[in-house]
Structure 1
Amino acid sequence: MRKFIAPLFVALLIAAPASGAFAATAMAPAAKPAVSAQAEQSISSTVKSIDLKAHTLTLADGKTYQLPTTFKDPGLKAGEKVTVQWKMNGRNYEATKVTIG
């Protein structure tokens, strides 16, 4: 009987610190996502094109912004100066507000 208890006791002593270390890493809080990637930004530029059917607005720099489906056209046309407030949605630029001027 002693032949079984002694090796079992040694195995438990060796395994105890390892399981404690595992528990500490498993309970660590997850990293928070970067706020700057989701923060709203703005840009002032000139309209290159607007497609109301596709709900997109392309500015002079070539970037295309996705307009909300509820967007009401205030009379935008190519060459118009606008300010676009936007945020990233995955790889897409999502416009939240468009103002002329």
Structure 2
Amino acid sequence: MRAAVVALLDAGNNVILDEMPVDATIMPAWRKALTGYDVRWVALQAPLEVIEERELERHHGRHLGNARGHYGHGMDGPFDLVLDAANLTPTERATTIATL
């Protein structure tokens, strides 16, 4: 996927990537692949209880335990923006990100 994103950027496209790091190698690999590009790094954070509650509400593609298993991976920054996903609506988060 990193090669595809780099190809899109090299072709002049803007890209918004939503990544859920599944282990500690994911974010360093993205940061290395995107070195030299104009990137805004955004982290969405919420307490584990909130994420697990939302996981229970999803029906399509639901794999119980992913929230706990992936919690905290890739959150070692640095980030241009850190948002509280527990208390902001999706629209509020998108609007804030769009102002970067």
TM-score (ref. length: structure 1): 0.19
Point out the structure with max Rg over C-alpha.
1
TM-score (ref. length: structure 2): 0.19
Higher strand share: 1
Higher helix share: 2
